[in-house]
Structure 1
């Protein structure tokens, strides 16, 4: 009964914003029917899962991102406040760029993972300035979206392809892209004429202590984001960029969550991973570029 309620509650919430959606198969409008399914004009049907999310993928995908990785990421974000300064920085940018604060603002997190960043940012935006914000999170990983829908209600969660997003043109005030792959053609299509894209990319010091411990080779220890920044500037009307740098002291539990969530461990040895896990605490650097762009007119 609780599972049925979760599905119905989510469907009722999505029905308030069904005008956002376009069928990923035929691009026609969609409606929530019987608080059970999202159905387009050509009767392509996408059911709400018992956890409350929708799967709007048109093809199957394989991903290395596991349930354990997403659970660890959620704990690192929510319990250790590892990314709290980032959430506040993004919310501040959103509030500064919203001209009409009387309207509901629509925020799409493209590549949202398990949803914690979007949930935190929406909460801060609501409390700081605007009357209300609708948060929409999409990710190619079903495991991530399942965890998001389980933990964060009053959001729209969907398994969806960044190259074929299930939304109409010009629907979003803000598109977030946080340490995640991008599709700039889709972002330009989805962004309102006065909307903004906020992309977060690693800077040279991001997780440097972990990288130096896990890898022998300097090219693995060091990181440059210059190509990503250049591509962003080519794809949007560039507004500004800022650098966010700080250091967090992680306890043993947080170290374990960091190791579980980062793909850095995929290309190193078990010995080096175990060696880092043996630490009781560690100072870890967060070093990020925050890029802001507008639609190219």
Structure 2
């Protein structure tokens, strides 16, 4: 009964924004049908899951991003406040970009995972800046979207390929891309003419103590995102860039969540991972570059 109520709540919420959707198969407009599906004029039909999300993929896509990873990431973000300065920085950017409007802002989080970044950002905007906001999270991982829909209501959660999203063109004021792969052609299509894309990439100090503990080779301990930043700047009209760097003190529980969350452990030896897990505390640096762009003229 609880899951059925969650599905109905999601259907009712999405009904308010069904005009944003376009069929990923034929690109026709879509409508909510009988409180259970989104359907286009060519009768391509996508059902609401019992948790409230919609799966627009035509086949099962397996990824390494599983249930335990997403649960650990959510705990690290919500209980550990690991990325709280990032959420505050992003909401400040959004407020500065749309300071003259009191209308509802539409935010699409691409590669949203289990949805905690989007939920936190929307909550801050609603409480601090008094703007209405509709938040939509999209990810190819069904596990991530399922976790998001279980934990965060009054959002739209979608399983979809980023190269073929189920939305009409020019629907979003803000496109977020936080520590996740991008599709700049799709971002440009989806963004409103006065919209903004905010991409977050790791910088040289990001999780450096963890990388130094897990790996011995310098190329694993250090990396650069120069190519990623150059590609971003070529794809969008440059607005601004912000370097965000801070250190978090992690207790044993937070260390466990960090290790479960990060893909860094996938290529590390079991011994080095366990050695880090055995620590009682750790000082971990979060070092990020926030890139802000608009459509090229």
Q: What does residue 214 of structure 1 align with? A: 214
> What do residues 27-58 of structure 1 show as CA deviations (whole Å, max 9, x unaligned)?
00001111110111111100000000000113
State the alpha-carbon separation in 2 of the partners of residues 48 and 98 from structure 1. Answer: 32
SS at match of 2:219: helix
> In structure 1, what is the equivalent of residue 152 of structure 2?
152
Residue ranges of structure 1 left out of the alignment (5+ in a row) = none
Residues of 1 paired with 2:260 and 2:48: CA distance? Answer: 29
Q: What's the CA shift string for 1:105-163, capped at 9, x where partnerless?
A: 00000000000000000000111214310000000000000000000000000101100
- Looking at structure 2, the residues matched to 33 and 100 of structure 1 have their Cα atoms a distance apart, in angstroms, of 37
Paired residue for 1:111?
111
My pick for the range that moved more, 195-204 or 122-131, is 122-131
Q: Is the 8 A contact 1:101 1:129 kept in 2?
A: no
Aligned: 1:143 with 2:117:
no
Number of the residue aligned with 2:3: 3
Indicate the SS of the match to 1:204. coil
- 1:84 aligned to 2:84? yes
User: Which whole-Å CA distance do the structure 2 matches of 1:143 and 1:126 have between them?
Assistant: 27
1:190-205 pair list within 5 angstroms:
190-205=190-205
Equivalent residue runs for 1:214-293 within 5 Å: 214-293=214-293
Q: How far off its partner does 1:206 sit?
A: 0.1
1:132 equivalent to 2:127? Answer no
Render the CA deviation track for 1:247-297: whole Å, top value 9, x for unaligned. Answer: 000000000000001000011100000000000000000000000000113
Q: Indicate yes or no: 2:49 matched with 1:15.
A: no
Question: Helix, strand or coil: the match of 1:59?
Answer: coil
| Alpha-carbon contact 1:95-1:130 (below 8 Å) kept | no
Unpaired segments ≥5 residues, structure 2 = none
- Report the alpha carbon displacement of residue 12 of structure 1 after superposing the two structures with TM: 0.4
TM-score scaled to structure 1, two decimals? 0.99
Partner of 1:172: 172
Count of matched residue pairs: 297
Task: Tell which deviates more after alignment, 240-249 or 121-130.
Answer: 121-130
CA contact (8 A) 1:250 1:284 kept: yes
Give CA deviations for 1:192-242 in whole Å, capped at 9, x if unaligned. 000000000000000000000000100100010101000000100111101
Q: Distance in 1 between matches of 2:167 and 2:88?
A: 27
Secondary structure of 2:4's aligned partner = helix
Indicate the residue corresponding to 1:70 in structure 2.
70
Q: Distance in 2 between matches of 1:124 and 1:75?
A: 18
Runs of 4+ in 1 over 4 A off after TM superposition: none
Q: For residues 82 and 200 of structure 1, what CA distance do their matches in structure 2 show?
A: 15
Does 1:187 find its partner at 2:224? no
